[in-house]
Copies of this chain bind each other. A is one copy, B any other.
Amino acid sequence: MDEITATTVVRRFNRAYTQRIGALEDSFLGVGLPLGTARLLFEIGAEPATVQALRARLGLDSGYLSRLLRRLEDDGLVALEPDADDRRRRRVDLTGAGRGRWAELEERAGARARQLLEPLSERHRERLVAALAEADLLVRAATVTFEPVDPGSPPAREAVDRYFADIARRFDFDPAGEPEKDAVLLAPPRGVFLVAVSDGEPVAGGGVRTIDDGVGEVKRMWVHEAWRGAGLGSRLLRLLEDAARALGHHTARLDTNETLTEAIALYERFGYRPIARYGDNPFATHFFEKPLTAPA
């Protein structure tokens, strides 16, 4: 695809959309709260959080946020209380009145969305919704980044747990003890674990461990169901190969189960070739290897 055309389409869309719907944010006006305050209330309603979490989510200055919260508290819309675990922290939640105000904001935002769809016929509405859902998935996927993390850390553990849960649905599998071993094997200096997190939730992850001098093994590659089809698997595998190279490996291996057909297709697309069984993974039925030359 022509690079110029592609960015032109993105920019054209941005202009049209923000002009028409971007005013969407202004729909928060008219409930007697300035926009920033309304957005904050909205965010708290979506999920009560600590002050610092809100600061991160909204990208606000600490002093500024403090004042906004104070104002919401004075208006009786939110309640702040010290966090039991760390009494420096404060947890913010909506009061009854705040919940009412939040529902109002919800309703307005919903009305905005309905207003956009309303002039369209059923058929065109379906097309728009499908296009937005597709764009949503791809935009999210494009803006997520993979970060190396300690395989014992909560996001990594969650990714691995979900990986096990997913494959247990495909074939008879018992992860007994595996997560604990992973936490060691996939950690530096002999391993790596990468996770992509979106809205605080891991959406894809996987690791590399060293099985022999110069030979790395790709393990636990997983992509959240709702995020499949957006190319995260390919990006992850490419990054894991880079990581293996950085660990000094000249060869990447991996094993998998015959039921995981999409995974096998991905490995084949990436140039992995079937090899004889290695290691002692009782759940693996297929084994692959690929020489790690300079990155493509």
Tell me the bound Cα distance from A267 to B231 in angstroms: 43
Tell me the bound Cα distance from A120 to B229 in angstroms: 12
Tell me the bound Cα distance from A9 to B109 in angstroms: 12
A122 interfacial contact with B, CB 8 Å: yes
Contact with B along A111-146 (1 / 0, CB 8 A): 001101111111111111101111110111111000
A22 interfacial contact with B, CB 8 Å: yes
A24 interfacial contact with B, CB 8 Å: yes
Q: Which residue of B lies closest to A143 (CB)?
A: B20
A18 interfacial contact with B, CB 8 Å: yes
A3 interfacial contact with B, CB 8 Å: yes
Interface centre among A3, A17, A18, A122 (most CB of B within 10 A): A17
- Specify which of B13, B17, B20, B142 is in contact with A119 (CB 8 Å cutoff): B142
Q: CB-CB < 8 A to A17: which residues of B? A: 17, 135-136, 139
Between A and B, 11 residue pairs with Cβ closer than 8 Å are: A7-B114, A9-B129, A116-B139, A117-B142, A120-B141, A120-B231, A123-B231, A124-B142, A127-B138, A128-B138, A131-B138
Which residues of A are in contact with B by a Cβ distance under 8 Å? 1, 3, 5-14, 16-18, 20-22, 24-25, 109-110, 113-114, 116-129, 131-136, 138-143, 230-231, 234-235
Q: Which residue of B lies closest to A121 (CB)?
A: B231
Interface centre among A8, A10, A231 (most CB of B within 10 A): A10
Q: Which residue of B lies closest to A136 (CB)?
A: B13
A219 to chain B, nearest CB (A): 23
B9 touches A14 (CB 8 A): no
B230 touches A10 (CB 8 A): no
Q: CB-CB < 8 A to A136: which residues of B? A: 9, 12-13, 16-17
